[in-house]
Chains A and B, each alone.
Chain A
Amino acid sequence: MEETLTWDEMRSIFLDEWLLITDFELDSSGHLIRGVVARHSVDKDEVYRLPALDKPSAFKFTGTSTFPGGWRAHAEHYHV
């Protein structure tokens, strides 16, 4: 039987990995509370591979984003 984990447990077990989570529960804001990790990998393509699972799925990354966007990044990049 697949184990249900909390989001905090997922983050501690699967470091810097992409997760596909099924049978999940969300809070009132839509944030993940717990679920079953159906796929995990450091390679995003491996987790998002087709065919898709035939059930509701949540996708999460447990690492730190390197996203460079936002006004602050824009200002730093263009030395505003």
Chain B
Amino acid sequence: MPNTTTFDTNAPYIYLPISVISGNNTLYEFDAIFDTGAPRTEFSDTALAYAGVIGATKPSVLKDGLQTQKYAKAILPQVHICGHSIENLEVFVSHFEKSWGIDALVGLDFLRRFRTEIDYSRGILVTEGLPLAVR
């Protein structure tokens, strides 16, 4: 069954809310950008530290260019995005610049799991789980 998710077509990016259910069953809601330039979904270390997924953050040493600063991987017990629930999602842990105003990048791994139709004329994403997802 496809899910429909709205987004603001006036925003410079497609912003998507993403919820993380931590090990203590508490829900944390973060803002993400749908970024097909990211091979895998990434989370800011400060967000994951707050949610108790990682123990501590590392000092940032941002390099020149467009890359985020990935330095670890983490398994998120449960994630909700676009109305879909994903268990044990492996993500990159990254340092995010504070001025980015977001805590996650939804990457190509999402497209490996879900057929995704972007309709800018209506400001909606229509997503449906793929029967044989390539992970």
Check B31 against A61 for contact (C-beta < 8 Å). Answer: yes
Q: How far is the CB of B39 from chain A (nearest CB, A)?
A: 12
A59 touches B28 (CB 8 A): yes
How many chain A residues have a CB neighbour from B under 8 Å? 35
Q: Are B26 and A50 neighbours in the complex by a CB distance under 8 Å?
A: no
Q: Quick check: B49 and A31 within 8 Å, CB to CB?
A: no
**Contact among A30, A32, A56 for B28, CB-based, below 8 A:** A56
24 pairs from A and B in contact (CB 8 Å cutoff): A28-B83, A30-B17, A30-B19, A31-B17, A32-B29, A48-B46, A48-B47, A50-B49, A50-B50, A52-B50, A56-B27, A57-B29, A58-B29, A58-B30, A59-B103, A61-B102, A65-B33, A66-B97, A66-B99, A66-B101, A69-B105, A70-B36, A71-B36, A71-B37
